[in-house]
Amino acid sequence: MGVNMFYWIAALLVGAMALMQLRANAWIWLLAILLWIGGGFRFAGIGALAAILLLLLLVIPTLIVAVKPLRYALLSRPILKIFQRILPRMSQTERDAIEAGTTWWDAELFSGKPAWDKLLQLPAPQLTIEEQDFFDNEVEQLCGLISDWESTEVWQDLSPQAWQFVKEKGFLGMIIPKQYGGKEFSAYMHSQVIMKLSSHCSAAAISVMVPNSLGPAELLLQYGTEVQKDYFLPRLAAGEEIPCFALTSPYAGSDAAAIPDIGVVCTGSYDGQEMLGFRITWDKRYITLGPVATVLGLAFRVHDPDHLLAAEGSTDRPTDLGITCALIPTNHPGVVTGRRHWPLNAVFQNGPTSGKDVFIPLDWVIGGRDMIGKGWRMLMECLAAGRAISLPSSTVGFSKLAVRGTSAYVAMRHQFKIPIGKFEGIHEMLARMGGNLYLMDAVRRLSALAVDAGEKPSVISAISKYHVTERGRVLVNAGMDVLGGKGICMGPNNFLARSYQQMPIAITVEGANILTRCLIIFGQGAIRCHPYVLKEMAAAGEADQDQALADFDQAFFAHVSFVFANFSRTLLAGLSSGSLPAAPSAAPQELRHFYRAVNRMSAAFALLSDMSMFVIGGSLKFRERISGRLGDILSQLYLVSSVLKRYEDDGRPQEDLPYVHWAIQDSLHQAQEAYLGVLENFPNRVLAVLLRFVAFPFGRPYQLPSDALDSTVARIMQTDGDSRDRLTAGMHMPNVEQSPHAFGELAFQLIPQVNTIEARLKPAIQAGTLPPLPQSLIEMQYWVAAAAASGDITEAEQQVLHDFARFGDISVQVDDFPQDFNLLEAAQKRAQS
């Protein structure tokens, strides 16, 4: 091959990649092809026959694409017909779920070229003066009225005093506007409150959480009539009404849209008047606050067999009008409030509700007559906001307690004459806890920021709920492994047992995690976040065929350009080992490679998603493991983005970099393995091999955090200071009157002074004039007395060591009870008193 021929071929490759990246239109491609063929004929020595063949192979197809009438006739119209034929039928509930909510940063991650400036320029979430005052006072006062042990084993609920405080101080109306008597707090404030309460008492957190997320207030605010808002919202804000919302039934759990509860349109009597309404029969379970609720939000399916809601004289309206939401007082005749459920010893109020042939007026429908049949979409949009706040916040709350308590315990607890926090096996568990908590809190904050920005982030909320609760499970399990016997003995001294015991609740509710991962994250994300798929589907469904063709043509060829652009980006990123994608100019130097990694994986993910939809088609929603892995890639990119945003929002504290590196390395590795998992199970093996080479030509670039990084994270977790405080910021710090495990933190705070004393005494210990500090904290009392008597320690040092020994001894103990102790009897006696 001559030099000119080599340059001519190189020009083809470089030019094609550049035009793909620039997403050049067909006319520019046509011009470039003609110039390239001409250059080959003139300089590279290709013959006339070769030039003619290239013209036939390249110019004619490009010309067809460039000339709109030709493109319409030969390409767009046939492709549209195929698309309309193979497009899977979508139920109305599926359509409502896909169209509900909004897209945000998730769409940027799907773009193959995320606009980092859009994310980094958002202000850091922060509380207003009014919110901060409530957080520092009322929330702290509520924490002083409650404890997890007392609410669980004594009251089996919040105490009456705590319930009264919650109602009087407006905890149940945090999201309700001030014009209705509410607090009108931000989503971030809502998240902060739930997080703090969860770090101290799960029953309090859930009792406050539900009215502010899943309760009827959100539905009323978005869809209620003015009459409904004026009546219910002030009463909800003041705690005069306790709300619950009933969606799940014994035969419709994850498939909530299939609820069998029926309301038949009929006329009936209410308040002495004949009126149009529904006769409803329902059977619901798992309804949080159901046993104590005074107003029931109910989802049911409306049937109108006699066409009473149809226009006069019309009988062509369907009889099944769809899911509808109504508000019903629980003292309304026929409403049955069932006995309590007992979800894994959690004592938040939860139970069934039912009714048989209960008549309610038509105007009890949330939003009135116009919203009949629109309940599923209402729920999807409201759940998108609530799911982004509630469970991520509560999981982060008890995870902060786990990290704070465990890190203090391992720094103070000695075995084999050294603190157990120095063992590498413990380092692995601690790093898993600290790194995950840093990431989980970052996700919580960014998701709340999205809601405060006015978004209804359906995909992001699903990502947040799934991954924060799953990582919370990993975190709590690691803590239990570290605590050992202390972690498995129930009692006031055990700060981790309730979280461990109740972790499956967070995994299960608000959309079970298996469903969320396999069906929702990518199932919704692929259509909602993709820049063209929803447009293509909409065009295919248009009645006007000329308009359908025009819209489809525009979306389809933009989609093709999008695929080629991401192919080019992915290949160049792979060949450059990830160094080619540009990082934002504002990114700190030490993290630029992570921004480039997200850009690389974003393009690779967009390409793989398009190839998966092309090869597998509509059956992709039934290939749940592939869909789940695709969702994992999108999710991990969102988690990395959250970590990078948090580091910026915190002011780039250098001491937090180990957490940042651990969290991002872990997420990138998981994204990579999910990507390869899709390819290893891809039905088209040839395409799978090609995609693997394009994305990762030199093998797996992203590795799990190293042992050295694990140890660094573990050490800073055991170091008192700003970094540890930032990691657990916003949690409730109990005093010793509230909780025995507060002694562990007191002992931890004394460790630097104890280490200073021990270092000063080291020569005497080495000389044998003073024995080493004993491992047993009980024995230390005797050692302190001997050292004080010999004059080796001062009176102040003696007090420090006495306090350390006493606090530490209390913190390592576990609770025990008399053999005839009966918790139920004790609770009953306490309740009677």
Choice among 510, 648, 745, 797 that is catalytic: 510
Please report the beta strands in 332-450, taking only residues with DSSP state E, as ranges in sequence order.
336-337, 350-361, 414-415, 418-419
Beta strands 350-361; 414-415: pairing state:
unpaired
CA–CA separation, 74 and 69 (whole Å) = 9
β partners of residue 324: 300
The long-range contacts involving 221-230, CB below 8 angstroms and separated by at least 24 positions, are 221/175, 221/176, 221/177, 222/378, 222/381, 222/382, 223/366, 223/367, 223/371, 223/378, 224/366, 224/367, 225/363, 225/367, 225/368, 227/363, 228/327, 228/366, 228/367, 228/368, 229/180, 230/180
Q: What is the DSSP string of 283-344?
A: EEEEEETGGG-SEEEEEEEEE-TT-TTSPTT---S-SEEEEEEEEEETTSTT-EE-PPP-GG
**Cα dist from 244 to 213, 215, 337, 350, 672, whole Å:** 10, 5, 11, 10, 42
CA–CA separation, 505 and 395 (whole Å) = 11
Q: What is the DSSP letter of 531?
A: S
Which helix (H) or strand (E) segment holds residue 265: the answer is strand 262-270
Which helix (H) or strand (E) segment holds residue 600: the answer is helix 592-616
| 510 is annotated as an active-site residue | yes
Please answer whether residues 347 and 501 qualify as being in contact, where contact means their C-beta atoms are separated by less than 8 angstroms.
no
Which helix (H) or strand (E) segment holds residue 607: the answer is helix 592-616
CA–CA separation, 576 and 568 (whole Å) = 12
Between vectors from CA 394 to CA 250 and to CA 134, what angle results, nearest 5°? 125
CA–CA separation, 81 and 68 (whole Å) = 18
Residues contacting residue 733 through CB under 8 Å, at least 6 positions apart = 404, 742, 745
What are the phi and psi torsion angles at 243 (to 5°)? -95, 160
Question: Three-state secondary structure along 177-229?
Answer: CHHHCCCCCCHHHHHHHHHHHHCCCHHHHHHHHHHHHCCHHHHHHHHCCHHHH
CA–CA separation, 172 and 183 (whole Å) = 9
Please answer whether residues 210 and 244 qualify as being in contact, where contact means their C-beta atoms are separated by less than 8 angstroms.
yes
CA quadruple 369, 229, 449, 503: dihedral positive or negative?
Answer: negative
CA–CA separation, 450 and 454 (whole Å) = 7
Structure tokens given for 608: 């793989």
Nearest to 632 by CA among 648, 659, 608: 608
Please answer whether residues 125 and 448 qualify as being in contact, where contact means their C-beta atoms are separated by less than 8 angstroms.
yes
Number of separate helices (H) and strands (E) present in the chain: 36, 9
User: Counting Cβ atoms within 10 Å, is residue 363 exposed (0-12), middle (13-18) or buried (19+)?
Assistant: middle
Q: What is the DSSP string of 553-585?
A: HHHHHHHHHHHHHHHHHHHHHHHTTT-SSPPPT
**Cα dist from 8 to 15, 380, 551, whole Å:** 10, 56, 38
Please answer whether residues 297 and 243 qualify as being in contact, where contact means their C-beta atoms are separated by less than 8 angstroms.
yes
Nearest to 515 by CA among 244, 257, 192: 257
First to last CA, the chain: 98
> DSSP 3-state assignment of 529?
coil
**Cα dist from 525 to 195, 354, 439, 595, 785, whole Å:** 27, 35, 21, 22, 67
Annotated catalytic sites, by residue? Answer: 510
